[in-house]
Structure 1
Amino acid sequence: MLVSKMSLKTNANMNVHGRDGIHLRYSPELNGLVLHLGESKLYKGLAAAVDDALDSILDYLDNRTVRRREIDIVNGNMDLSGIPAEAEAHLRATLNPYASPPHPIHRVHSCFIGFDYGAYSSLVGIDAQSLEAEFQLAYAKRAESAAP
């Protein structure tokens, strides 16, 4: 993880605004950086969580000020420990506002969606291996019923 916003919070009762996590990787195939912008939504129902995640992503895409703020956070708080030298050099060149031409950066929006689901209560007390099998069966059944 390049930046964990949780460590930047000064008030434990305040939500994290913007991306919840910012991960970065260098892709030799793309000759560029891949920026993973993490969203995390925990709601009672799935629909509200997905709606809020999409609203947040659209706000990021539509609002240059929001994007600039995320870059400022990366610039001021990135943890470069363990990053290969080639990736670090590419990152520094990408973030250099005077670089010409600008280096490509590929953005991926990743979402963690948590919600209440009635089937969870029926899985309490099941061992991990059986739990995985039960989850796969429940998921396949649900996906099949949702398919057109």
Structure 2
Amino acid sequence: MSDTEVAEHLFAGILGGLVRGDPNEFLHLLVAYDVPMPLEGTTATVRTHFLAADANGNPAVELLGTAMARAAMDFCIPRSRIEQALKHLRETGSTSHFSRLEQQARELFVDGDGTGEGGELLLFLLMEQVLELPQLLAKMSLKTNSNVHVHGSDGVHAKLGDDGVLDLYWGESKLYKSSSDAFTDCFESIGPFLGADGEARRRDLLLVRDNLNIEQSDLAVHLLQYFDETNPKALQVRWNGVCLIGFDHSIYPDMKKIADVQSAEIAKAVKRWHKAILDRIKLNSLLKVNIDVFCIPFPDVDTLRKMVRKKLGVS
């Protein structure tokens, strides 16, 4: 192995080590339906999940909402500020700086109903803890007005391959009552970041370059080469997508007690959802882009959204 290959392997390991969270605290709340399914004729993979149920058969909406709300600081606050709070804790024994960061994270969420930011929290958890992709840009920290959404994609995460290619992942989340609306809007929203034109992608890349959420100076210097158009590494960037698509599903199943008839109905529904995703991928010319799609039906997305807002303390 050459010195260059050794260095790339080292940086890949350091970047991978920035993944945050313990999946054991979260993933038991989402029951996987079958294995991840590649969509024929594309480079997309669909992961279908249902909410787990408690012993009474009730979907674990409150527990999921709590897990999502607890991710707010990791999602919103740059690592540098968290490291400063940790330094203060070590020096003083006080958690006051962490309390301040938690309050600031909560205040960044839009003060109004209908927000998609609950979906952004769940997408963040899935990208970090299922796909093991660390965040490169804490986009919510760029907000200057808590009553205005951050424009652009819902997140930019990354993985550095041993071959020197930087895989960037743009995230998009949609939680709608209608599955059709959720599928359509999700791919229409993420399409400009993944398409051949790439103007929206270039704008986000500038944000990443200027606000790189990396504390390790050597790793930051290495990654910034990929955002320098005068550097050969700028040719070693591959863009990918991660979609979270949530929607209402009537007669919600308890996956531990599912009956044969209901199992057959769910299988038909999953097949329809896969076809709908395939149709949107074709429509938005994304057949050759790597996309991970999390398809998650809910008993009621509004109930989940309100639960997240309650746990965040957002009125």
1:9 corresponding residue in structure 2: 143
Which of 252, 263, 267 is the aligned partner of 1:143?
267
Amino acid at match of 1:133: K
1:49 corresponding residue in structure 2: 182
Partner SS state of residue 241, structure 2: strand
Deviation at 1:42, TM superposition (A): 1.5
Amino acid at match of 1:143: A
1:75 corresponding residue in structure 2: 209
Q: CA RMSD in A?
A: 3.0
In the alignment, the residues of structure 2 paired with residue 103 and residue 140 of structure 1 have an alpha-carbon distance, to the nearest angstrom, of: 47
**Shift in alpha-carbon separation, 1:139–1:93, aligned structure 2, 3 A:** farther
Partner SS state of residue 213, structure 2: coil
In the alignment, the residues of structure 1 paired with residue 227 and residue 213 of structure 2 have an alpha-carbon distance, to the nearest angstrom, of: 14
Deviation at 1:16, TM superposition (A): 2.7
In the alignment, the residues of structure 2 paired with residue 18 and residue 145 of structure 1 have an alpha-carbon distance, to the nearest angstrom, of: 31
**Shift in alpha-carbon separation, 1:140–1:93, aligned structure 2, 3 A:** farther
Which of 159, 171, 192 is the aligned partner of 1:25?
159
Contact 1:32–1:90 (8 Å) recurs in 2 = no
Partner SS state of residue 234, structure 2: coil
In the alignment, the residues of structure 2 paired with residue 104 and residue 139 of structure 1 have an alpha-carbon distance, to the nearest angstrom, of: 44
Contact 1:33–1:90 (8 Å) recurs in 2 = no
Given the alignment of the two structures, is residue 40 of structure 1 paired with residue 173 of structure 2, yes or no?
Answer: yes
TM-score when normalising by structure 1: 0.73
Which of 192, 203, 224 is the aligned partner of 1:92?
224
Count of residue correspondences: 135
Deviation at 1:2, TM superposition (A): 0.8
Deviation at 1:113, TM superposition (A): 1.4
Amino acid at match of 2:137: V
In the alignment, the residues of structure 1 paired with residue 257 and residue 151 of structure 2 have an alpha-carbon distance, to the nearest angstrom, of: 36
What are structure 2's unaligned runs of at least 5 residues?
1-134, 273-315
In the alignment, the residues of structure 2 paired with residue 65 and residue 147 of structure 1 have an alpha-carbon distance, to the nearest angstrom, of: 34
Q: Which has the higher contact order (CA 8 A, sep 6+)?
A: 1
